[in-house]
Structure 1
């Protein structure tokens, strides 16, 4: 009897073995994905869209954890120091993962050394806009006013180091003028003052300015990107208007801690490719005026390195303490 039971148990164990081996090595438990900005913003919305697709692909929850502050660097720093076992990821952004290298003097991580770039998800193009009440109907007119009196033309941004800040400074440098920076604590108050005419201009993302353009509250003067924006095909770029190779855009993507296993990177990269085909995620990106991105792994890292060099050319090599 004992022998029969032993043989039966062995047979059951043999039958069960393939099922055990078929279980994926990763993830075996829920995965945290940190976002360096508050809930409800465009970065957070896209992060939740991609997390939903990952959860479906891997059969484990991908839990969004918003850790806002210090221009997104708090969340980035946490992931830079996390265990590279795949339990913690970062839904990164161009500010903490590229701009910060040029902006801050005491950044607690290296954007290239201290992360494993996995997949860029989207690029978000920006436009140069003025209030509908502005007398300026062309970029040339706006720049002429700035040349006539240094600092007379002001621009709004969502804060020091934001893409809006950097893009407007790139325009000022290309045009040889001095603009007055008016930073706000977020996009919403910046947009409110711009519409009210308390500031003269900004360069902001399609998701922020398109509704205001449609409502007649803002006037677009130029596409801030190297190529024209599909939603506004007749709007010429700043480069076409003679203001250099300004490429005003933000981007988002998935990162792991340094040393993340190549097999996890590959699995996430493949899952991202599939996610980009999901109608739900496509609607999220299209609704925000974003362009799907296909840089993965090493190509994503090379892109970030070029971005850091581009920002350092404008800002120098760190001038502002992290607060």
Structure 2
């Protein structure tokens, strides 16, 4: 027969079991969400919007932390090194999570092996823009000025290796001209200098430049994607204008460190699906022309592998000098 002490111990263990389970449920404390770009850019805006949705849906604070620099790879590397318990996440972007794997030989992490792809949130088509006060009324005029004065035409980007950088480099290569690259620590400071006329042009996401076009601060010259952009159906593509199959678009999504528990991935995926139906979040994604994305888990990871292969095909064989 069990002793009174053994029965007491068993009873205590049964009472304690639910409490241990509750304590271990994720998220049990505030979650940090790292962003690799400066405050004010669209990646930062999406991060804060999804953090607000996660906070409401999952009942715990999600706090955005900006760690800009090195084309977003500083933030990505910090998440790679974080505990795989869901306490630190990354609002990832196509630059540090795909382009960087093709661009940097000394990248301190492998985007496929060292990060868990959780949920893609949005895809952003890009377009070629100049300041409203620019003398260039067409892509052809811009290219001709670069041909007459090599290096005189400058363009801004969110950093070396960013989608904007690669797209502008591709345009220069296809047109047979030379541009001068001026990198920034994110799109927000780059746009400030573009509007002020301190740089001549860029190829940037419609989510970032859409309102600036509406306000008359920027002038669009071409869609940087293979297909025309929905909100600007009359804007011809760079391909239609004779500059080859340039397809400039970027995306954002949620990542965690490698080995992120399945419970955390499942909860974040479900919360992301729920957030997509929130009117406030829908407005942020679609007002500027972004396309909501539904890739989750393994499907998102497979897409990431294809993206990396696509960029390696462009950058890895020396087609473009960055």
Q: Tell whether the structures are fold-level matches, with TM greater than 0.5.
A: yes
Contiguous gaps of at least 5 residues in structure 2: none
Out of 175-184 and 86-95, give the one that drifted further. 175-184
- Offset, 1:145: 3.7
Residue of structure 2 equivalent to 1:45: 45
Is this contact kept in 1: 2:70–2:160, CA < 8 A?
Answer: no
Partner Cα distance (2:28, 2:197) in 1: 54
Matches within 5 A, 1:57-68: 57-68=57-68
Distance 1:299 1:243, change over 3 A: farther
Kindly state the Cα deviation for residue 197 of structure 1 after the two structures are TM-superposed. 4.1
Contact 1:118 1:256 in 2 (8 A): yes
Distance 1:217 1:44, change over 3 A: closer
**What does residue 92 of structure 1 align with?**
92
Structure 1 partner of 2:265: 265
The farther-off stretch of 124-133 and 107-116 is 124-133
| TM-score under structure 1 length normalisation | 0.83
- Residue 173 of structure 2 is matched in structure 1 by 173
Per mean C-alpha deviation after superposition, the further-off stretch among 289-298 and 208-217 is 208-217
Instruction: Tell me what 2:231 maps to.
Output: 231
Q: In 2, distance between residues paired with 1:17 and 1:270?
A: 27
User: Helix, strand or coil: the match of 1:44?
Assistant: helix
**Corresponding position of 1:156:** 156
In the alignment, the residues of structure 1 paired with residue 291 and residue 73 of structure 2 have an alpha-carbon distance, to the nearest angstrom, of: 24
Q: Deviations over 1:120-153 (max 9, x none)?
A: 1111222101233444332233334434454343
In the superposition, relative to structure 1, how do residues 142 and 31 fare at CA in structure 2: closer, same or farther (>3 Å)?
same
Query: How has the CA–CA distance of structure 1 residues 239 and 302 changed in structure 2, closer, same or farther, with 3 Å as cutoff?
Result: farther
Name the SS for the 1:32 alignment partner. Answer: strand
Q: For residues 312 and 131 of structure 2, what CA distance do their matches in structure 1 show? A: 30
Answer whether contact 1:47 1:64 (CA < 8 A) is retained. yes
Q: For 1:109-120, list aligned pairs within 5 A.
A: 109-120=109-120
Q: Which runs of 5+ in 1 are unaligned?
A: 319-323
Question: What's the C-alpha RMSD, in Å, of the aligned pairs?
Answer: 3.0
Distance between the aligned counterparts of 1:135 and 1:67, measured in 2? Answer: 36
Contact 1:100 1:107 in 2 (8 A): yes
Deviation at 1:101, TM superposition (A): 1.5
Q: CA deviation at 1:25?
A: 3.3
Count of residue pairs the alignment pairs up: 309
Change (3 A) 1:176 1:79: same
Offset at 1:313? 3.3
1:190 alignment partner in structure 2: 190
Structure 1 partner of 2:253: 253
Give the conservation status (yes or no) of the 8 Å contact 1:170–1:314. no
Query: Where in structure 2 are the equivalents of 1:5-16 lying within 5 Å?
Result: none
2:140 aligned residue: 140
Query: What's the offset of the Cα at 1:54?
Result: 1.7
Report deviation, 1:231: 1.7
